[in-house]
Amino acid sequence: SQQGEEDPQALSIQEGENATMNCSYKTSINNLQWYRQNSGRGLVHLILIRSNEREKHSGRLRVTLDTSKKSSSLLITASRAADTASYFCATDRMGNQFYFGTGTSLTVIP
């Protein structure tokens, strides 16, 4: 299937540490997006990286994309307790269809 698959499924770190989560997908894409979901809430867009880009930064977030390996990583630096959430990658193929996975559940311990 097209869906993105996040790894690890769960990650627990101390406040101030960096968190890295990965996403793999199966077919060619136009772009890849990362979203955050707080418990009981809808998803919130974090960052979009296009297929011709290799790296993108937004505040404490750094996203990389390797289209040859069909993978992406999201790095959150200097994590805070408020970063505790599930993180999803989303890939598109036909422009109007986005495929998510099961997410990485991040817990940041104060």
Partner 1 sequence: DTAVSQTPKYLVTQMGNDKSIKCEQNLGHDTMYWYKQDSKKFLKIMFSYNNKELIINETVPNRFSPKSPDKAHLNLHINSLELGDSAVYFCASSLRGNIQYFGAGTRLSVL
CA pseudo-torsion sign 66, 67, 70, 76: positive
Given the complex with partner 1, which of 25 and 98 has the nearer CB atom?
98
Given the complex with partner 1, which of 36 and 108 has the nearer CB atom?
36
CB-based contact 46:23 (threshold 8 Å): no
Chain centroid offset of residue 75 CA: 8
CA distances 6 to 16, 21, 24, 75, Å, are 22, 7, 7, 13
State the binding string over 7-46 for partner 1 (x if CB under 8 A, else -): --------------------------x-x-x--xxxxxx-
Stretch that binds partner 1, among 17-25, 58-66, 67-75, 98-106 (CB under 8 A): 98-106
Unique residue bearing structure tokens 């993105």:
4
14 strand-pairing partners? 109
Instruction: State in angstroms the smallest separation of the CB of 63 from partner 1.
Output: 14
Q: How many residues bind partner 1 (CB under 8 A)?
A: 25
Footprint on this chain of partner 1 (rule: CB under 8 A): 33, 35, 37, 40-45, 48, 86, 88, 90, 92, 94-103, 105
